[in-house]
Amino acid sequence: MTKVFLKKKIQSRILTGHPWIFGNEVGETSGPVEPGDIVSVFTHNGVFVGKGYINPQSQILVRLLTRDKDEEINDDFFLHRLQKAWEYRKKLGYVENCRLVFGEADELPALIIDKFNDYLVIQTLALGMDRWKDAICKALTQIFNPKGIYERNDVPVRELEGLKQQKGFLSEPFDTNVIINENGLKFHVDIVNGQKTGYFLDQQDNRREIKHIVQGADVLEAFCYTGTFSCHAGYYGAKSVLGLDISENAVATARRNAELNNLQDVCKFQAVNAFDVLKQWSKEEKKFDVVILDPPAFTKSRENIQKAITGYKEINLRGMKLLKPGGFLVTASCTNLVPPSLFLEIIDMAAKDARKKIRQVSFQTQAKDHPILWNIENTTYLKFLIIEVS
């Protein structure tokens, strides 16, 4: 097996548990290097660190899979890792719908698997993981005997690994429009064309957090996508709910979700540019009891972080101005490039500019089926905040 030796001065991050090894952290390599192959990693003086897959085309040269020198990377390895991930979710009560595998947090870097009832959607985001796709599907079939497996590998990050974007069935074809249950409601999941793997499971716990603040309230949700927060607001007793999203398809699905839960009289949706509407309505001094902001990531690169900060500050300032005194702002950020401390700082800046006082009600991360490892920063990505604004 090819051996990779780390540089002396920058190996501490890897020794304390991070699975990523960048090209500039490697001193030398002994043996042939075939992209996607399993290699052994050692410190500069020959102490074993772990085994992982290598790709010279990627900035992340090696992603570690195991720290056990006796553990073989084979079909059984993936079966055992997937069983371990499933047992963890079951212990936490995530049985019907869940993020079954959350990449590095489940010791399976660059692998994402979402479970929707009896259907599984997978993403293999690096070459080394993509090469084990058949073994992963075989293991999933053995554990779950699912009604279908689908790959959503239509993501640009694969191209950085020399992989093409693609999506399609990894099992016999099935109806990819699935209905799931969440918190007493039902939602349509479009596995083929929905965002990411078809549905945002990471907010399923947070959607319950609005239960009390929306009762009898006039609620506005900007960037509503398929209306999951809006439908929860209606279900929890809101007087009226208005969801805004720029996507006609998303709004059409939001309306179908409202009808599916008999909430079409309470929950209304408009296909508009939410940025423009927030700006216009704050000038017109429209007022709501609750404003919900769950925008897409404003940046995927560190070069544009200032643009993201400006965007988050602007929409939160507008949201605060649309609230009645004592109203509640529900706001989220899904980019891991904005850490929790910076997100709270942005909200504070927005409040000061809007001349508002704020009181924190709840501050959370992603649902617990997306586990967080303290030594791997990118496993903490979602920030979810509820504040009272006066």
- HEC string for 44-107: CCCCEEEEEEECCCCCEEEEEEECCCCCCCCHHHHHHHHHHHHHHHHHHCCCCEEEEEEHHHHC
For the beta carbon of residue 331, count every other beta carbon within 10 angstroms.
Answer: 24
Where along the chain do its domains lie? 3-66, 75-176, 200-389
The domain 75-176 having CATH identifier 3.40.1160.10: the answer here is: no
Sign of CA pseudo-dihedral 268, 272, 275, 276: negative
Neighbours of 256 (CB within 10 A): 15
CATH, range 200-389: 3.40.50.150
Write down the catalytic residue from 98, 137, 267, 334.
334
How high is the pLDDT of residue 58? 96
Q: Which amino acid is at 322?
A: L
Dist. CA 343–CA 341, nearest whole Å: 5
* pLDDT, tens digit, 9 for 90 and up, residues 77-118: 999 999 999 999 999 999 999 999 999 999 999 999 999 999
CATH 3.40.50.300 fits 3-66, yes or no: no
In tens, the pLDDT along 324-368 reads 999 999 999 998 888 999 999 999 999 999 999 999 999 999 999
137 catalytic? Reply is no
Residue of 97, 265, 61 whose CA lies nearest to 178: 97
Same fold, 3-66 and 75-176: no
Identity of the residue numbered 328:
F
- pLDDT score of 81: 98
Give me the pLDDT at residue 32, please: 95
Q: Is the pLDDT of residue 73 over 90?
A: yes
Q: Name the average pLDDT for the chain.
A: 96
Reference 319, options 204, 202, 215, 219; nearest CA is 219
- pLDDT for 343: 95
